[in-house]
Every structure is written in structure tokens, then in C-alpha cells.
């Protein structure tokens, strides 16, 4: 009988984010022979989800913003728990755990490559941390290539979508024919959704510029849902005040589950500020595809690994509001919109399944414990 293995998953937060969702999916779907413990610097809604599923969670909070004591205590926690494998999802705990794991002979997985490219100004020290790792995992080929980590040390494990989430979104979620039935002629505006944290990495301003352009000609024909929270929310709301007052743009807080809002739309958009950010394997895009929406996204980072240009959606240049507006107008008048959304959903459920993600990580953990990673 295979002995149970202890797995320590490290993160900086259990807040409402894509990384935290993927960590939670993995921890709650591992086979019984792998026993995960999640360690985090800060609490968040996913802590309750993990505990409800029976996954132990250790939160060692900071007393103030720059308090490093929790990170210093992480060494003691690792030595006390003596896990068979340590898997860091965030760079802060990775920086502490990697050298200790090397000294203690504990296999270490660096899973901190979650974006499509590094920020050279801030991320340079992370390359040194990765040298201590036995395996480096990225959630996109673009991210792994950008960091220059080669196989077999470098691995790509794509994010997964849990189809059970579709039940929370109601009857329309995942129904690729729903988008084909929505039309301004029946009194409902054509609805565009963009989800994400409202900060400089996400280019909501280009979306708003496209909305302004389209609404100038047909204000009653369009509705744009901006779904998310973040430090830029107030500034964006002020910039879009006229569009909000005209009923063209709505700012909506997502809560822990955004799928009901996504499922109400006809097209999903994800735009990023390429000067500072590139997506890895975008959770937002996966949610659009799961709900049968065609996708418009930047042609950068790992987006091309998710979106097949002209098949499941369209890829556009960063900051090009005219291109975004043009593709939206094209999709609004297209009878093939539903087929494009259906192709995206089929691709998601085939190539980005939860069992595939879990199996990929289990192979990595088993290989490390068996000395064959």
C-alpha cells in the first residue's frame, strides 16, 4: 500500500484571486494518499472553502504591512511539519522556503510563474530562488519560456476549470446557444463583460474607450459589465460617469463567484496593459469559454494558448480601442457567434480539465518523492 504523503502548499494570501482559486481546486481534489496543508500569510475567503473541505489551513498574519516575522516563522513551521514536498505558489514564501528545503533535503516546487512574462525590475531575485527548486511550474508555455526555464526542470501545468461551478450560474451558463438569442431587436442590449482586479495591470480604460465609441452611434444597443474590485475602481467610475449615467456601463462587485454575471453576457473581453503585464493562463478567459462566450483578448502572454484566433474568439493589439470596438461590432452582427462560443467551451472542457491539472501535479509530486522528477 502506498504510504500517505504530506504536502505543504505555500501562498501569501487566500483572497479572492485566480491563484488562490487554482490552489484551492488542487488542494481539495488531490487523491487521499496526498495530504495537503495550506500555509498563508493572510486570510481570505478561500480559507473557509479549504477548511470546509477538510484541508488544514495555517494563517500566520502580519502585524503590519512590512512585518516579516511570519516569513521567519515559516522555517520553523516547515521543520515542524516535515512535509514530503513543499510547493510554493507565491514568491514571498518561496524565497524563505527554497533555501531551507535544499538544506533539509525536502523536495521543493516553485510554482510562482503565473504570468506571461517577468517584470525585470522587480522579479530578478526570483530567478535566484528558482535555482533552489527541484521543479519549476508555470501555468503557460509563454511564462516558462519568458523565464528561460528548460525541461525537465521546467514544466507547464495549465489552470483548470471546475464544471461544477456552472451550476451556480443558472440555466444560461455554458449554453452556447444563449448568446445567439440575444439581440437588441428583442429589447435587450448586446452585453459585453470584462472581469478582473481593477488596477494598472488590467486595461479597463481601453474597454471603456471602445464602449464610448460604440455607444456614440447606438447607446441603447450596448451594455458593458465591469466586474471586479481594486484600487482603480473609483478613478474608472469617475472617468466613465457619463456612460454609467446613460446605462451603457455598469460597475459590479463580483463576490466569490462571478459566473452568473459572465453567463448573462454575449462576449467576454480581457485586456491588459502590456507595458507592465501579460497574462499566463487567464482564469477570466476560462470562465468566458465555460459560459460559451466568444473571447476578445490581447495577443500577448499565454492568451494564444487559450484563445484560437478566429475560432474561439479574436486576439487584438494592446491598447487598440478601435480594434476592440470593431471586433465587438462584428460579433454583434454575426450569426456564427454561438458556434464560436461553443468551440471555446468544447476546447476548455477538453484541454483544461480539473482531472488533467490534478494528475499533472500528482505526477510531479510522486516523481519528487520517488527521486524521478
pLDDT at position 140 is 98
pLDDT at position 172 is 52
Q: How many structural domains are present in the chain?
A: 2
Cα distances (Å, whole numbers) of residue 264 to 25, 166, 227, 292, 293: 25, 12, 12, 11, 10
pLDDT at position 64 is 87
Q: Do 287 and 189 share a structural domain? A: yes
Q: Do 295 and 247 share a structural domain? A: yes
CATH number at residue 84: 3.40.50.2000
How far apart (Å, rounded) are the C-alpha atoms in residues 279 and 202? 10
Q: Do 265 and 184 share a structural domain? A: yes
Q: Do 285 and 264 share a structural domain? A: yes
pTM of the model: 0.91
Q: Do 239 and 195 share a structural domain? A: yes
- pLDDT one-digit tens code per residue, 103-155: 999 999 999 999 998 876 567 778 889 999 999 999 999 999 999 999 999 99
Q: Do 113 and 191 share a structural domain? A: no
Q: Do 177 and 122 share a structural domain? A: no
pLDDT at position 257 is 87
Whole domain around residue 127: which residue ranges?
5-160+353-369
How far apart (Å, rounded) are the C-alpha atoms in residues 98 and 173? 42
In this prediction, the residues of the chain whose per-residue pLDDT falls under 70 are: 1-2, 120-122, 168-187, 371-373
Q: Do 195 and 106 share a structural domain? A: no
Return contacts of 130-134, CB within 8 angstroms, 24+ apart: 130/98, 132/98, 132/99, 132/101, 132/102, 132/108, 133/98, 133/108, 133/109, 134/107, 134/108, 134/109, 134/368, 134/373
Q: Do 198 and 321 share a structural domain? A: yes
Q: Do 78 and 18 share a structural domain? A: yes
What cell does 67 get? Answer: 512585518
Q: Do 105 and 31 share a structural domain? A: yes
What cell does 356 get? Answer: 488533467
- pLDDT one-digit tens code per residue, 307-343: 999 999 999 999 999 999 999 999 999 999 999 999 9
Q: Do 308 and 180 share a structural domain? A: yes
Amino acid at each position: 500500500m502506498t504510504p500517505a504523503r504530506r504536502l505543504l502548499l505555500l501562498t501569501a494570501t487566500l483572497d479572492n484571486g485566480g491563484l488562490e482559486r487554482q490552489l484551492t481546486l488542487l488542494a481539495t481534489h488531490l487523491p487521499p494518499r496526498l495530504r495537503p496543508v495550506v500555509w498563508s500569510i493572510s486570510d481570505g475567503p478561500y480559507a473557509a472553502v479549504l477548511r470546509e473541505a477538510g484541508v488544514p489551513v495555517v494563517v500566520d498574519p502580519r502585524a503590519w504591512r512590512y512585518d516579516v516575522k511570519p516569513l521567519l516563522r515559516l522555517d520553523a513551521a516547515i521543520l515542524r511539519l516535515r512535509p514530503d514536498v513543499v510547493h510554493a505558489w507565491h514568491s514571498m514564501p518561496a524565497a524563505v522556503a527554497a533555501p531551507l528545503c535544499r538544506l533539509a533535503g525536502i523536495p521543493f516546487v516553485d510554482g510562482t510563474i503565473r504570468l506571461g512574462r517577468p517584470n525585470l525590475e522587480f522579479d530578478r531575485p526570483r530567478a535566484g530562488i528558482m535555482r533552489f527548486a527541484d521543479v519549476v511550474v508555470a501555468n503557460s508555455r509563454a511564462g516558462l519560456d519568458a523565464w528561460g526555464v528548460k525541461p525537465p526542470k521546467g514544466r507547464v501545468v495549465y489552470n483548470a476549470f471546475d464544471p461544477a461551478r456552472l451550476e451556480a450560474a443558472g440555466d444560461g451558463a455554458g449554453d452556447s446557444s444563449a448568446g445567439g438569442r440575444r439581440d437588441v431587436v428583442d429589447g435587450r442590449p448586446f452585453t459585453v463583460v470584462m472581469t478582473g482586479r481593477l488596477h494598472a495591470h488590467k486595461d479597463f480604460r481601453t474597454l471603456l474607450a471602445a464602449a464610448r465609441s460604440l455607444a456614440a452611434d447606438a447607446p441603447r444597443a450596448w451594455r458593458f459589465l465591469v466586474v471586479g474590485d481594486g484600487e482603480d475602481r473609483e478613478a474608472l467610475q469617475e472617468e466613465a460617469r457619463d456612460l454609467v449615467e446613460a446605462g451603457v456601463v455598469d460597475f459590479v462587485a463580483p463576490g466569490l463567484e462571478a459566473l452568473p454575471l459572465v453567463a448573462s453576457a454575449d462576449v467576454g473581453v480581457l485586456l491588459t496593459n502590456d507595458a507592465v503585464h501579460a497574462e499566463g493562463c487567464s482564469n477570466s478567459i476560462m470562465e468566458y469559454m465555460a459560459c460559451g462566450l466568444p473571447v476578445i483578448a490581447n495577443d500577448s502572454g499565454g492568451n494564444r494558448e487559450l484563445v484560437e484566433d478566429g475560432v474561439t474568439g479574436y486576439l487584438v493589439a494592446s491598447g487598440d480601442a478601435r480594434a476592440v470596438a470593431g471586433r465587438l461590432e462584428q460579433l454583434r452582427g454575426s450569426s456564427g457567434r454561438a458556434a464560436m462560443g461553443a468551440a471555446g467551451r468544447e476546447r476548455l472542457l477538453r484541454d483544461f480539465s480539473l482531472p488533467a491539472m490534478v494528475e499533472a501535479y500528482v505526477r510531479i509530486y510522486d516523481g519528487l518523492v520517488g527521486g524521478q522528477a
